[in-house]
Amino acid sequence: MKLSALHQSYLNRRRSPLDSSVDAPSKSFLAVFWLVLHCLCCLISLLLGFRFSRLVFFFLVSTPSSSNLYSPPFRPDLPPPRIDLTPSNATTAEAKTSSSRVVVGRHGILIRPWPHPDPVEVMKAHRIIERVQREQKAVFGAGAKGSRTVIAVTPTYVRTFQALHLNGVMHSLMLVPYDVVWIVVEAGGVSNETASIVGKSGVRVIHVGFDQRMPNTWEDRGKVEVLMRLRALRVVKEEKLDGVVMFADDSNMHSMEFFDEIQNVKWFGAVSVGILAHSGNAEEMVMSMDKRREMEEEESSSLSSLPVQGPACNATDKLIGWHVFNTLPYAGKSAVYIDDVAAVLPQKLEWCGFVLNSRILWDEAESKPEWVKEFGLLNENEGVESPLSLLNDPSMVEPLGSCGRQVLLWWLRVEARADSKFPPGWVIDPPLEITVAAKRTPWPDVPPEPPTKKKDQMSLSQGNNNVVVIPKHQQQQQQRSSKVRKPKRRSKRNKHEAKPTDTATQVSSSTKHHQERN
Amino acid sequence: MSNRLSLSAILLFLFFSASSAQHNVRTERISGSAGDVLEDNPVGKLKVYVYELPSKYNKKLLQKDPRCLTHMFAAEIFMHRFLLSSPVRTLNPDEADWFYSPIYPTCDLTPTGLPLPFKSPRMMRSAIQLISSNWPYWNKTEGADHFFVVPHDFGACFHYQEEKAIERGILPLLQRATLVQTFGQRNHVCLDQGSITIPPFAPPQKMHAHLIPPDVPRSIFVYFRGLFYDVNNDPEGGYYARGARAAVWENFKNNPLFDISTDHPTTYYEDMQRSIFCLCPLGWAPWSPRLVEAVVFGCIPVIIADDIVLPFADAIPWEEIGVFVAEKDVPEVDTILTSIPTEVILRKQRLLANPSMKQAMLFPQPAQPGDAFHQILNGLARKLPHDASVYLKAGEKVLNWTAGPVGDLKPW
């Protein structure tokens, strides 16, 4: 319908200048010309995808000042002619104040030439987000209620499993949302091994050396650990560190709720610790469990059958005693030496289950309660077994974790053999001598060489669970070496040459030594 | 004795200052003449008389369609209920400062829930005729000390299409009355000088049921859920939202910082609480409940609506709380937002966290101190005392009772 109106207007327009010279042939010529023009416009519209004729009409009809079009790049649609009225109203000065500057009607959709994110702005936005989140944390999160520093005391010494244990404790401490001071006491003096591990933590570390070497039996080790912890507490006293002292033995595992819970301690608190008495022998574990069940049926339930050490409360949530790990099932079968394949049992009361306010250890007795012994006067040689020795009155201990019902950390002792070796800093230097077959087919090119001289070396590696790699030129020192090597593949042809075949890749320090050995 | 009294007074003062200082870390009071007004108590400052209109103007409409209580125009109904039991209500019209007529013009809904404004002018007219003939107070001032709640799209212009609304203009009979409306745009025919802009109704219980702990980190930079193109009413594009929403989509659909889409997620409220900025662009009308939701959930509103007048603009300093972006600057919204200094952003968040700010945007049932009902009364109280010129001499007539389209003159 509209098109016909446009046609009419076109016709009218075209007719007027030509009216003066109208004659019959020009009329028919006009009709043909109009038809051709119309077809052309239709074709162009088909190509462009919008109504081309409207655009032409607009340019012919509209006045130049009427456009409120915001020159959009992709949307050439026109405003309907009615809109031209309002801008003409707004051109007069007083009309501007009474009518809205914001114009009703169709507007162009503004799209910038490159509607994609700008990386600089993205980085700025991420910085804003990070700052907002930090503020949220400070106002609503962990820092809101006046958080206290966590002072972690860890006795450690250099051995194979140290990296395993110490990394675990370190990662837990790094996740703590409060300030952390980590006092690492090392038996045998300060070493680079330990320093390199704890240096990566990012928390404040006080690395203290302890002059004794760690002994070989669990019992003696416990005693030395106590002395090391007391040494750390002396550091707390001397440096006047303020916060909550907890004992993070390096093989323990802590839950994050533990750190939130110990913020509530006033002077001296106790939490429940899960005791994982692991023995290397699975059969033994089963046997001891059966035995334990027998014992439970015989005796009363005074002995706790749960592997938990912690405070025991009565119905009104008052401390009445201690749950202690039941060691009877393991009597006689527990590990004595550090590398025994048997259950490692905890002491009567493990230190890790206790937390204390560092002010207990300070000198001036400002607000210290009277039931706390003076730490400076403690005689270590009297045999301090558990932290309760620091108190005059053990009944004043606060039970934490809903009165010991929540187990917030776990105690575990796992060690390798005492003489096990590991690369210093766990860096393999120089590179290994290992031959690995690159091509694995079910039908090898050559049958693998029967293992003859490799037998004695293989048996060694079975018995112990350690791996030692030392550079080839040290192989002469047999007593210190045990090596794991994969059987090499060689083609029949090159028995005496050490040329690498296409089925084998060799990683070795030098081929010369290779030949030497063969 | 006097020494002890002064000492205790000093101690009390120190105690209160200390406790208030602690409070200021989390939220910030909108201090100064603007913000303090939010906590004003209107009781005692004004008296409102509520006309007894027949129930065909209010209760019957509600009975016909109870959806009127939950849509975004429900403020008119709740204002009536609030005033009936409020201490500012007086039963003696001679001592009243303001007169309220309980009409629900936005309660004529289509089956899909949208209000039809076609009969509202006639309803208003018939109600005013009733008031002027049964009580003498209308004729004393020709309605200058009366107020009406007209929460529809364009207020008392009574149309949903802006062009038609501008054509109609404000209903002639309401020229002198105070209009309490959600629509606000400067230099617009449908906003009278003395009108009070209010927020649209958003259900407070529903919003409070979706609150999440405040320490959940805000990880979305910009958030928006809603239409960008209204294909039903504006298939060619460019009319809806004056092209601003479409511009937002075209410019930022590829931008990971902008979480924008047309979804209707069930976690809409929770997502707003995880966002730093919430876009509040205009739609067919410049106002939207998104502003209320953004304020309640602590998300900084980014208002894209030229010349908009926000709710309680004389009491709330919106420039300090939200970010205003001109419609022509929409393609640069990301540049604008990332160049705001972080200190300014943190301050805006602190102002938004102020509970009196959130309370002023809501219409809770029953009414609570500082809520939107009280802000409306505060606004009315600020317009008192009435200018002497408001009162007309006997027989003087200003309003033209026959003005307006012919269809409006039909009885309702």
Interface predicted TM-score of the whole assembly (ipTM), two decimals: 0.85
The pLDDT of residue A73: 37
> Looking at chain A from residue 76 to 95, which residues have their Cβ under 8 Å from any Cβ of chain B?
77
Question: By the 8 A CB rule, do B276 and B300 touch?
Answer: yes
Q: How far is it, in rounded angstroms, from Cα B179 to Cα B309?
A: 14
Model-level pTM greater than 0.95?
no
Chain A (32-71) residues lying within 8 Å, Cβ to Cβ, of chain B? 70
Contact call for residues B51 and B135 (beta carbons, < 8 A): yes
Closest chain A CA to residue B220? A129
Q: Distance, in angstroms, between B221 CA and closest chain A CA?
A: 7
- Please give, rounded to a whole number of angstroms, the shortest distance from the CA of B121 to a CA of chain A: 23
- Any chain A CB within 8 A of the CB of B331? yes
* Predicted local distance difference test score (pLDDT) of residue B226: 94
pLDDT at B42: 85
d(CA A269, CA A351): 11
Residues of chain B positioned with their CB less than 8 A from the CB of A146: none
What pLDDT does residue A96 have? 36
Joined together, the tokens standing for residue A131 give: 């700052």
In a mutational test of the B interface, the residue from A85, A97, A102 whose CB has the highest number of chain B CBs within 10 Å is A102
Q: Which tokens sit at B293?
A: 């939701």
Can you give the pLDDT at residue A92?
36
**Quick one: pLDDT at residue B292?**
94
Q: Tell me whether A129 touches chain B (CB under 8 Å).
A: yes
B25 in contact with chain A, both atoms CB, cutoff 8 A: yes
Å from A108 to nearest chain B CA?
6
Q: What is the DSSP letter of A325?
A: -
B161 touches chain A (CB under 8 A): no
pLDDT of residue A337: 78
Positions of E strands within A250-373 = 253-254, 268-270, 272-276, 308-313, 319-323, 354-357
Shortest CA distance to B31 belongs to which of B361, B350, B377, B367? B350
Cα distance from A232 to chain B (closest Cα, Å)?
35
Contact A110 B247 (CB under 8 A): yes
| Residue A105 with chain B: CB contacts under 8 Å | 163, 239
**The token pair that represents B282 in the structure block:** 């205009």
- Pick out chain A residues at pLDDT < 70: 1-25, 49-100, 142-146, 279-305, 365, 380-381, 418, 431-432, 434-518
Give which of A251, A257, A241 is closest to A177, Cα–Cα: A257
In chain A, % of residues over pLDDT 70: 61
**Which chain B residues have a beta carbon less than 8 Å from that of A93?**
none
List chain B residues with pLDDT less than 50.
Answer: 16-24, 33
Residues 6+ apart with CB under 8 A from A388: A349, A354, A394, A397
Nearest to B187 among A70, A77, A100 (CB): A100
Q: Which residues are paired to B308 by β-bridges?
A: B185
Q: How many CB atoms lie within 10 A of CB A74?
A: 8
Residue of A nearest to B228 (CA): A109
Q: How many CB atoms lie within 10 A of CB A285?
A: 15
Helix (H) or strand (E) holding A185: strand A180-187
| CB contact (8 A) between residue B306 and residue A107 | no
Can you say whether the dihedral through the CA atoms of A463, A466, A472, A475 is positive or negative?
negative
Interchain proximity A122–B328, CB inside 8 Å: no
* Residue of A102, A106, A133 lying closest to B306 (CB–CB): A102
Tell me the longest C-alpha to C-alpha distance in chain B.
83
Is the CB of A108 inside 8 Å of chain B's CB atoms?
A: yes
pLDDT of residue A19: 47
Radius of gyration of chain A (CA): 43
Measured CA to CA, the distance from residue A215 to residue B321 in angstroms comes to 67
Tokens of A263: 């913020």
Q: What is the pLDDT of residue A495?
A: 46
Distance from CA of B250 to the nearest CA of A (A): 7
Q: How many angstroms away from the CA of A52 is the closest CA of chain B?
A: 16
